[in-house]
Amino acid sequence: MKSKISWAEPYKMKMVELLKMTNSKQRTKAIKEAGYNTFLLKSEDVYIDLLTDSGTNSMSDRQWGAFMTGDEAYAGSKSFYKLEKAIQQFYGYKYIIPTHQGRAAENILSKILIKKGDVIPGNMYFTTTRLHQELAGGQFFDIIIDEAHDPFNEHPFKGNIDISKLDKLVKKYGAKKIPYVSLATNVNLAGGQPISMENLKELRHYTKKHKIRIIHDMTRVAENAYFIQQREKGYEKKSIKEIVKEICSHTDGATMSAKKDALVNIGGFLATNEWDVYEEARNLVVVYEGLHTYGGLAGRDMEAIAIGIEESLDDFHQHARVGQVEYLGTKMIEYKIPIVKPIGGHGIFVDAKSFLPHLNQEQYPAQTLAAEIYIEGGIRTMERGIVSAGRKSNGENHKPKLELVRFTIPRRVYTQAHMDVIAESAASVYDRRKHIKGLKMIYEPKYLRFFQAKFETIK
Footprint of ligand F0G on this chain (CB under 6 A)? 52, 54, 101-103, 126, 128-129, 184, 188, 217, 219, 257, 259, 268
> 162, 217, 261, 351: which one is catalytic?
217
Least Å distance, CB 174 to ligand F0G, is 28
Alpha carbons 121 and 332: distance in angstroms, whole number: 34
Annotated catalytic residue, options 103, 158, 260, 282: 260
Q: What is the smallest separation between the CB atom of 196 and ligand F0G, expressed in angstroms?
A: 18
Residue showing the smallest CB distance to ligand F0G in the complex? 102
| Distance (Å, whole) CA 20 – CA 421 | 16
DSSP state of 446: S
Question: Based on CB atoms, which residue is closest to ligand F0G, 226 or 430?
Answer: 226
Q: Give least dist CB 144 to ligand F0G, A.
A: 13
- The Cα–Cα gap between 261 and 257 comes to 8
Considering 20, 61, 62, 74, which one is annotated as catalytic?
A: 74
Concerning whether 126 is annotated as a catalytic residue, the answer is yes
Q: Where are the alpha helices (DSSP H) in 17-59?
A: 24-33
Annotated catalytic residue, options 130, 384, 406, 412: 384
CA-wise closest residue to 47 among 65, 64, 26: 26
384 given a catalytic annotation: yes
Least distance from C-beta 219 to ligand F0G, angstroms? 4
Nearer to ligand F0G by Cβ, of 188 and 193: the residue is 188
> Rounded to a whole number, what is the largest CA-CA distance in the chain?
61
Residue 268 or 295 with smaller CB distance to ligand F0G: 268
Shortest approach of ligand F0G to residue 187 CB, angstroms? 8
Residue 450 catalytic?
A: yes
Which of 170/248 has CB closer to ligand F0G? 248
**Does the annotation mark 260 as catalytic?**
yes
- What is the per-residue DSSP string for 64-117? HHHHTT----SSS-HHHHHHHHHHHHHT--SEEEEESSHHHHHHHHHHHH--TT
129 vs 199, beta carbon nearer ligand F0G? 129
Closest CA to 125 of 115, 114, 112, 138: 138
Output Rg (C-alpha) for the chain, integer angstroms: 21
- Chain-centroid distance, C-alpha 333: 23
Which residues are known catalytic residues? 74, 126-127, 217, 260, 384, 450
